[in-house]
């Protein structure tokens, strides 16, 4: 079977690693990188660390408005599809790369396989929500990470081609946490951060909050962004913040207090995995990091009004917070009752890559 896979952003690189390894054992995969994430710390390092094959094509679209970016991807992907004539096209998640790939293939009557189908935040103001809904409704096979995702699709009348494969990000975490611990448990993680960013006060394992902020609903609103940083500056532990390049530009014009906040460059997957595992808590607006924290049994506070990963909310492993200084501080500094409760196996057994391959090759059937 000849398959084209579309990737373009950090979460997609992470998901692609186990699938590409499994699929290429018996089939041909052509990897297309749209270039949506093009900074070396947001792209190249993931290919190196995770052993992802070098992309066969790189569209290099870079940043831009949603319309300009999606249009450039659509044009480039269509040309590749016409040239390569694949048996199908696979997309991950909910980015502009996802929608552009699915739309280009669908219009050429090439089967679309959507990994991480069926997620819903029920907030259509989010570009990610728009992308995932549109992609689901033009996909031929919907590869769901949880039963909740399957149920969401059923509510929208989508039942054909729906398969619960488990979460492929769980595969990647299980494959790499041991490698990350071996590489960084000797303290080299701190040396790596300091070497990139100058003098940083010593922080200890389990003695910091790990934060990421990148969603437009937070970063494009100066009041919300200021409230987030004000809350961070008043927390009872230092906040380690690998800063997304886009967010870094947006805070330059804000009058925000950076005390208690340690800003570092974006880090690779292995170091981020280690920092997540050893943080006291994760504070984020990222969907992927919510899950990674859950997989690693690190409590999380999500700076959003809703989450598509509702399974993580059980027993307060993950707690939602409005962008209000007082509420953020209260939620982050809450008593961690979650540590007293086991986690249900909502995301599968860590063999999603194998199940996704089986579903694609066998017309939706997987070996139980």
3-state secondary structure of 7: strand
Same domain, 153 and 258: no
pLDDT of residue 63: 75
Same domain, 147 and 239: no
Q: Which of 33, 37, 114, 214 is catalytic?
A: 214
pLDDT of residue 61: 86
Active site residue 214: yes
| CATH number, domain containing residue 16 | 3.40.50.2000
pLDDT of residue 195: 64
Q: Which of 79, 83, 92, 63 is nearest to 5 (CA)?
A: 92
pTM of the model: 0.91
pLDDT of residue 229: 93
Same domain, 147 and 197: no
Q: State the DSSP string of 22-61.
A: HHTTTSEEEEEE--SS-SGGGTHHHHHHHTPPPPSEE---
77 falls within a domain: yes
Total structural domains within the chain: 2
219 falls within a domain: yes
Same domain, 119 and 253: no
**Domain residues for 229?**
171-340
366 falls within a domain: no
Same domain, 207 and 159: no
Same domain, 159 and 176: no
pLDDT of residue 197: 65
Same domain, 202 and 246: yes
Same domain, 177 and 250: yes
- Residues in the chain predicted with pLDDT less than 70, given as ranges, are 37-43, 195-199, 202, 368
Same domain, 19 and 108: yes
148 falls within a domain: yes
Same domain, 318 and 354: no
3-state secondary structure of 356: helix
pLDDT of residue 39: 56
pLDDT of residue 7: 95
């Amino acid at each position: 079977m000849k398959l084209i896979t579309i990737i373009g952003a950090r979460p997609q690189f992470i998901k692609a690693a186990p699938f590409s390894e499994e699929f290429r054992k018996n089939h041909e995969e052509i990897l297309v990188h749209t270039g949506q994430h093009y900074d070396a710390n947001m792209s190249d390092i993931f290919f190196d660390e995770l052993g992802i094959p070098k992309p066969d094509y790189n569209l290099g679209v870079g940043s831009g408005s949603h319309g300009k970016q999606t249009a450039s991807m659509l044009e480039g992907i269509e040309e590749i599809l016409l040239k390569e004539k694949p048996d199908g096209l696979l997309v991950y998640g909910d980015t502009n790369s996802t929608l552009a790939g699915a739309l280009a293939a669908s219009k050429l009557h090439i089967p679309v396989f959507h990994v991480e189908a069926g997620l819903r935040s029920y907030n259509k103001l989010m570009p990610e929500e728009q992308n995932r809904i549109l992609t689901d409704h033009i996909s031929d096979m919907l590869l769901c990470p949880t039963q909740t995702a399957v149920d969401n699709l059923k509510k929208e009348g989508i039942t054909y081609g729906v398969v619960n494969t488990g979460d492929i990000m769980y595969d990647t975490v299980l494959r790499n946490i041991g490698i990350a611990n071996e590489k960084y448990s000797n303290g080299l993680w701190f040396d790596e951060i300091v070497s990139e960013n100058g003098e940083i006060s010593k922080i200890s394992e389990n003695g910091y909050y790990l934060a990421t902020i990148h969603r437009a609903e937070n970063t494009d609103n100066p009041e919300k962004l200021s409230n987030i940083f004000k809350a961070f500056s008043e927390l009872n532990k230092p906040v380690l913040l690998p800063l997304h390049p886009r967010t870094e530009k947006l805070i330059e014009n804000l009058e925000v207090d950076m005390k208690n906040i340690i800003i570092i460059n974006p880090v690779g997957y292995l170091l981020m995995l280690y920092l997540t595992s050893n943080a006291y808590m994760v504070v984020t607006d990222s969907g992927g990091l919510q899950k990674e924290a859950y997989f690693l049994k690190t409590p999380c506070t999500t700076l959003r009004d809703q989450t598509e990963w509702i399974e993580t909310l059980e027993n307060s492993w993950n707690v939602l917070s409005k962008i209000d200084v007082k509420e953020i501080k209260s939620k982050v500094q809450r008593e961690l009752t979650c540590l007293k409760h086991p986690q249900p196996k909502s995301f599968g057994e860590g063999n999603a890559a194998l199940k996704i391959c089986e579903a694609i090759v066998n017309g939706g059937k997987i070996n139980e």
